[in-house]
Structure 1
């Protein structure tokens, strides 16, 4: 009955597209490293941008709440799962974002799917950058709204689509601020202007910019002074915060609407209170530890410079996501394996996560990486690039 799966899996394997799970473990006392089997590898694939995953203050807050609140929440937030730590966190999030209110979701995927479904439906249109995260694409599909994809960061194409759909009932523009596979940023000033001109709503996904940019890590919109132009802010706690979960911030009306209409929130068991308490501590650290942001930006600029001098095209900027595009899937896998042999964990990213012909190694930096570690890694990456024919010798 299920032989078709074996056939499809064989086809994926033939195209170097089959995925599998690899066990990893933290290395006590060595932040920025990961254990794979018996080997300790420099971790250049984690989203732990600020190095908070193992922070003792966060762990202690979770431990204390675990003893008081128990292992789980026991129900959805609209039943009996809305424990006191949620209120404390959401009040702190709203103050941090300088918004009227905030709402915690289980994760970024659930937040994007829930918000988009709540804001758009049949008869509406959602304008989405073609490189937006899969959760945004799936949210639009499930909403049953028309999906108008504009070419990556192409504001003239977006304008054409806005003109085409100017008579639609509701219009929602949505974008990542930092794109997860390319590390570049959205043209937020232009997006805000188009939103005003065409009477659309604007939603931004700050998953890969929250904690990194802004005076207290609020995100790229705050850094650029555009937070008041954005109707819906979404961010995650699984990257810079080193924990898990997501939030949406905006007006009181928006949050009331989501509580009533966002299906992933309504029909999911609430996050454990101990985890929510840990997030609150992470939020305090994100705001207070400016040195982590400064170190991460410096490390990102150094690593980009080193790879650029080695001959790779990595683009400009200071985001901690640094992709090296190698082209075909098999080369990406061999590149990743060769890096592991050199003591570096860096995963091959292949379609459908990225477009066909753009398989890559996606390097992801952390504030805990030292200049020496990054310099040594860049030298190894260059050597492998030459060996595999990605770079000319």
Structure 2
């Protein structure tokens, strides 16, 4: 008799370790205050950096696209699934990112899987930061390329790996632009200079940098003034852009290659037209004004300083991602639950997403948070921190 005993045992183990967390269901739009089980909570775990997920311009663009195109594309991009709205989004994404072309996918995760599995072969080597996102790790696993991992942001190790990789056909250095768990920024200037010295490609995942760093949110490449020197810029359309999807901004030849070879692109139905239209509206808002981005950074700096003044450990944070490092999974989840009792939703992040002793409550500041709301969170952190002996 087939049974699921092993899975039951695994879930029980997670509960014993304090790592089990049921999925939270919400009954309101993604915003600073969200409703669940009839209760409103201040949201501190959303990637909705600029408030675009509920922005009137994006709502209207989606409605108009439904009226024009319906609710689905009906096929993969290479058959009947390429609509004019998809091509317009890619054209404006490329212009926004300062590249020849852009190609959209169903998510940032599938973008990394599709691009990495297409460009890397058995004669190539990929050199990756140890803290790169899971989608990068999984994308690399889909390839037959040789792999070298360097300690987080360690440029000496990166240079050594490049030096030792001279005989490979293609060398690709892969890094996050902003690292999602710690909120620190990749040393992209040094990475690009090393890659150019050793004739390697540079691949940057800007999921948490697009809409956050650079002029008008153009990303980490623009932030460091490296336009034209990074070969592949990966982004999501589900964080600062506020909708869903992923893209690669690149040269035309790579776009053509991906259209013909990238399996997630070839074998998945394209984005619903209202999704593409809403993403396009977000890109246009970013190009028109950087007011929201300035407010985002003002809020992030204010909040980080307030948390650090309490004596809490915010790790390497230098962006709107502000983790409070707790330690063990059990203590992390207790801390998160106590904030919930105060009216704040701040999800605990534990192993295997981070190291076993590096559990943290990861908070993300948005442009729409008010100073009064951020003060409320800081005061609650002090209260919970004292109760848990972190302060």
Q: Name the TM tier (shorter chain).
A: over 0.9
Whether the 8 Å CA contact 1:27–1:40 is kept in 2: the answer is no
Alpha-carbon distance in structure 2 between the residues aligned to 1:118 and 1:222 = 26
Shift in Å, 1:103: 0.6
In the alignment, which residue of structure 1 is the partner of 2:185? Answer: 185
TM-score scaled by length of structure 2: 0.97
In the TM superposition, what are the counterparts of 1:123-202 in structure 2 within 5 Å?
123-202=123-202
Shift in Å, 1:324: 0.7
Change (3 A) 1:331 1:258: same
Q: How many residues align?
A: 389
Alpha-carbon distance in structure 2 between the residues aligned to 1:141 and 1:8 = 24
Shift in Å, 1:20: 2.1
TM-score scaled by length of structure 1: 0.96
Change (3 A) 1:225 1:299: same
In the alignment, which residue of structure 2 is the partner of 1:70? Answer: 70
SS in 2 for 1:216: helix
In the alignment, which residue of structure 1 is the partner of 2:236? Answer: 236
In the alignment, which residue of structure 2 is the partner of 1:206? Answer: 206
Whether the 8 Å CA contact 2:182–2:317 is kept in 1: the answer is no
Deviations 1:220-269 (A, max 9, x none): 21021112110001111101111111111111111111111211111111
Alpha-carbon distance in structure 2 between the residues aligned to 1:239 and 1:99 = 21
In the alignment, which residue of structure 1 is the partner of 2:337? Answer: 337
Deviations 1:294-315 (A, max 9, x none): 0000000000100110001225
In the alignment, which residue of structure 2 is the partner of 1:246? Answer: 246
Shift in Å, 1:157: 1.1
Shift in Å, 1:13: 1.7
Alpha-carbon distance in structure 2 between the residues aligned to 1:346 and 1:287 = 31
Whether the 8 Å CA contact 1:173–1:203 is kept in 2: the answer is yes
Runs of 4+ in 1 over 3 A off after TM superposition: 315-318
Shift in Å, 1:374: 0.5
Aligned partner (choices 12, 15, 19) of residue 17 of structure 2: 15
Alpha-carbon distance in structure 2 between the residues aligned to 1:238 and 1:263 = 21
Alpha-carbon distance in structure 2 between the residues aligned to 1:108 and 1:22 = 22
- RMSD, aligned α-carbons: 1.3
Shift in Å, 1:329: 0.4
Alpha-carbon distance in structure 1 between the residues aligned to 2:10 and 2:342 = 33
Alpha-carbon distance in structure 1 between the residues aligned to 2:273 and 2:388 = 49
Contiguous gaps of at least 5 residues in structure 1:
none
